[in-house]
Amino acid sequence: MVDKQAFVEFMVESDVLTFGDFVTKSGRPTPYFVNTGRYRTGEQIRQLGSFYADAILDKWGTDFDVLFGPAYKGIPLSVTTASALAERGHDVGFCFNRKEAKDHGEGGVLVGHAPSDGDRVLIIEDVTTAGTSIRETVPVLQAAADVSLAGLVISVDRRERGPGGGAALAEVGAEFGLTTHAIVTVHDVIELADIDADTQSRMHAYLDTYGAAE
């Protein structure tokens, strides 16, 4: 079982979850930001893999065969999570994609486990809002073999509205027939992070403007 309090504190202590004044990739002013590129030590990445592994086993059990991490941030996530799952007795393959196809050696765009027909692939990401990387990489997986998509797991669900008006993560799941799961949501962050009342108020205001209906 994932300890959500511990995960939120871990992100804050790692400077991955920060509060202040930021602008998202979509140009929205936001009072908080999640940047998994700030994990930078062996111990941090070990702990991160452990949190992901616990979340995956809670949600999917062992009903998948391969972890796939979209480049670039999904690459270390797939590796450390596969290692943590092996420590828990579930040894699965992992793979990730190159941004550009390799034209020498073994060639191709996938590195690691070569997907086979019938493989159940679980996609592992950091934070998904618009779902762009999923839309880019699902065709790559499906071109490699006749795989099935077991699901998508991310660290934080910002609970922002997608193009259809619903939660963006849920919309991505519906589009590709994926079971989606986040270790924590922004609502967990508001409840569990050690933040002042003003920051909480600003986060609620952000959700009032950009968030999906609960």
The residues annotated as belonging to the active site are 102, 104
The whole-angstrom separation of Cα 75 and Cα 72 is 6
Residues forming a β-bridge with 151: 122
Cβ-Cβ contacts under 8 Å for 186 (sequence gap 6 or more): 32, 156, 157, 158, 159, 203, 207, 211
Among all chains, which residue has been given the structure tokens 């790559």?
A: 140
Give, as one character, the DSSP assignment of residue 212: P
- The answer to whether 111 and 98 are in contact (CB under 8 A) is yes
Whole-Å CA distances, 115 to 70, 99, 130, 153, 185:
14, 18, 26, 19, 31
Burial class (CB in 10 A: 0-12, 13-18, 19+), 99: exposed
Coil/strand/helix, residue 214: coil
Closest CA to 147 of 93, 100, 103: 93
The whole-angstrom separation of Cα 88 and Cα 130 is 32
Among all chains, which residue has been given the structure tokens 């592994």?
A: 53
